[in-house]
Amino acid sequence: MVALPGMVPAPTWFWAALIAFWLFGWLFVERLSKAISDKKIDQRVGVIIPIVFGAALLVIWEAITVGLAVPTVIMPPPSMIWAKLVSSVPTLLADFNQTFLKAVLIGYVIGCGSGFLVAILIDRSPFFKRGLLPLGNFVSALPIIGVAPIMVMWFGFDWPSKAAVVVVMTFFPMLVNTIAGLSASGNMERDLMRTYASGYWQTLFKLRLPAAAPFIFNALKINSTLALIGAIVAEFFGTPIVGMGFRISTEVGRMNVDMVWAEIAVAAVAGSVFYGVIALLERAVTFWHPSVRGG
């Protein structure tokens, strides 16, 4: 791999070695996965599988782009993207702060929180169910490329308009999943609560919300990716000279594809970590659920 740039195009033996490398990685991951499923190895060792798989993809990506002399405008190699990441840390941090820490997190909290509260209102009142649920369905059907320019005109070019787009995108998944979760508790459990003379709020907090927790966390995980996508796309329609979406659209016009991929890498890592934190929180809260107890 180190000597590859000096022997472009790559010789036949190099491609044979690359195929052997991929087959070896495939065999290793398959054997390790089977050993974990057979409980011969601790399940925590399973974290090696995505690491090995991801590393193999990066090596193959580097080998193909360099070995075939692919133009960097079309597909830069991972080494070039890494060099841009290292040299552009201040810019990437500023974009991350603008897009993720401001627009994504604030919009995510407001959107998920409002969807949850509206679901409680709908569950509490048939009137709200007939009025608010169709309205929420209407909002979810709005295209983001139509909503984003409107939000920019309403809330300005800074992060509040991007947070508003995130609110629109995350509201309905939380609403629908919470309503479904509130109906997940069985009739026998509800009858038991009634025999104890439990009121609506006691039944809600002690029975129905715990039963709805898997549904609520499912919405939170879905929204963790939707929020990041919504904020980045919204920045294409007007933003200060900072932000992931702004940087991607600007650098594409300048043909600086390595910077575009660096922003994509930061967004992918941030989204994956965000999703992972919510998944770990779900395992801690819903430890009683069969899906969690089953591993």
Over residues 186-196, the pLDDT tens digits come to: 677 777 777 77
Distance CA 235, CA 95 (A): 11
**Sequence-distant (≥ 6) Cβ neighbours of residue 285 within 8 angstroms:** 213, 217
In the prediction, which pLDDT does 293 show? 59
Tally Cβ neighbours within 10 Å of residue 209.
17
Whether omega for the bond prior to residue 9 falls within 30 degrees of 0, making it cis, is yes
Cβ-count burial 154-175 (b if 16+ within 10 Å, e if not): eeebbbbbbbbbbbbbbbbbbb
- Do the Cβ atoms of 219 and 172 come closer than 8 Å? no
In the prediction, which pLDDT does 158 show? 85
Burial of 67 (0-12, 13-18, 19+ CB in 10 A): buried
In the prediction, which pLDDT does 262 show? 92
Which among 282, 288, 136 has a CA at the least distance from the CA of 216? 282
Radius of gyration of the chain (CA): 24
236-288: per-residue pLDDT in tens? Answer: 887 788 889 889 988 888 888 889 999 999 999 999 999 989 988 988 887 77
78-135: per-residue pLDDT in tens? Answer: 988 999 999 989 999 999 999 999 899 999 999 999 989 988 888 887 777 777 777 7
65-75: per-residue pLDDT in tens? Answer: 888 888 888 88
Distance CA 203, CA 200 (A): 5
DSSP 29-74: HHHHHHHHHTTSS-GGGGGHHHHHHHHHHHHHHHHHHHHTT--TTT
